[in-house]
Amino acid sequence: MTITARIDNFLEDKHFLLLDPIEIITANSLGEVPGALQAVENRIKFGGTIALGYVAYEAAGAINSDQITLESNNSTPLLWFCIFKTQVQDTGPDLKPVKDQALSWNHEWDKNSYISKVLGIQDLIREGFTYQVNLTSRFQAHFVGDPIEIYSAMLSSQVGSHSFYIENDDRAVICASPELFFQIESGVIKCKPMKGTRSRGKYSLEDIALRDELINSEKDRAENLMIVDLIRNDLGKMSEFGTVKVESAFDIERYPTLWQMTSTVKGQIRAGTDLLEIFKALFPCGSVTGAPKVSTMEIITRFEDSPRGIYCGAIGWIRYENSQLSADFGVAIRCATLDKKSQTLSYGAGGGITSGSDPESEWEELLAKTSILNRRKVPDGLLETMYFSPQTGFKNLERHLKRVQASAQYFGIDFDLTTVRKSLNETSASINRPSRLRLVLKTSSEVDIEYLDFNEIDRNQVTLALSQKRVNTENAFLFHKISDRSYYKKLRDQIPGVYDVILANERGELTETTTANLALKIEGKWWTPPLSSGLLP
């Protein structure tokens, strides 16, 4: 069997290829799970270099008999690990969207069914049976191609600190999880539950407003605190007395598609605790069940219609360093599985339902989570084009710098204003005629500057036409000047013989041209379209 495996931690910029597989350990029934988990640890302890694999959500009943799940459909093993001999440092995967196809997702529920389930859960919360239920569902799409493209597309939308790619002859497991399940290093175990989400805004002001809304949300803080208390209790089962501490609470992390609220909990593992005992204490992660865990897992079986599989389980690696167990497992969210024979891509998504949840908003959030596989959210670079004259200097320089700085902050690109100013001054010092300067800020934070002659436009010869293709205001790139201008060139080239085309959005509102701002004189007053219509600030 051919196995391709890699580990990518973008938070720490660590990337590894795993080579020379020695042995595969699997469990296909509940009775096999505990022994298989012990076998993985023993194999690493006495001979292997590193083990990479997953434990499916439906394995919970084998680890703790009081935890109830839907029955596994046997499409994937309950546990799968491969022991590798060699771990090689790598530069990281090439990030690019899925080529030549948009994924069309089939959802197992319609909107009314989902809302009915949310309302049913809220009835149980009011009756005191649970505090919070993590309700999830499955999406499926047909996919033909190399599954590494899915991994690349997923990471283009959301680089995860716990990203894994495992492909064998039967399936590919593709995970870009931002959530740490547990990490073990030098006898210390760390968990970082993630509860509380907002979509990213399309432009900086909207984005910051959504972030601040999450920061100040009492509902999200209460939801996060509930899971933190659950994790503290779980860690207490296998940690030295008095060592379990909340290191930080209600932190906000930025990802290309989402703002996430996280908290960090640590404890000192009791001597002699093995991997199976750790899973007994923690699995599955409380952030994907709800609270209290055992009774809520039973409620989940009443409202979900299909097994979760690898989704909401645990995926990660273990090894032994200086005779001590080291491990890093992510919660298997933002996780897709490709059945290579049927060419079926499966993806799970969900969210925590509380008494304060709005069913409509929860539905929209559920659908938004599939965008991780369809849209590239990080551009190759940012662009500013500005006029320079040796006599008068740069025109509107501060506005240009403010715009590119805001976009850099939005996309998480490092922007050194001092370096950019220095580069502009050095380049302009050798220019002796009016010119257009193009400043490109790459995602690597490198700055490229070039200049072209500035040619005056005969305003009497400018002809414009209205583009027949509408722009979509949900496209965040409309609000940021990205370096790839091919989309705008295609729009301009669709109408030959004109200087430029005027763009309009899906509501028929005029926005801008492909190269310039739009100003309209109406009843003696000049007007420009609002930012909300989908245009550059």
Tell me the catalytic residues.
179, 195
Report CA-CA distances (Å) from 115 to 112, 119, 192. 5, 6, 29
Beta carbons of 385 and 488 less than 8 angstroms apart: no
Contacts of 238 (CB under 8 A, 6+ apart): 189, 267, 269, 270, 273, 277, 278, 280, 281, 282
3-state helix, strand, coil in the chain (%, to 5): 30, 35, 35
E-strand ranges in 206-341 read 245-254, 258-268, 290-291, 314-321, 324-331, 335-339
Burial class (CB in 10 A: 0-12, 13-18, 19+), 272: exposed
Contacts of 315 (CB under 8 A, 6+ apart): 53, 54, 55, 162, 164, 173, 175, 177, 329, 330, 332, 335
Q: How many residues does the chain have?
A: 537
Report the alpha-carbon angle 309-311-317, nearest 5.
100
- CA–CA distance, 20 with 52 (Å, rounded to integer): 12
Residue 276 structure tokens: 């199976």
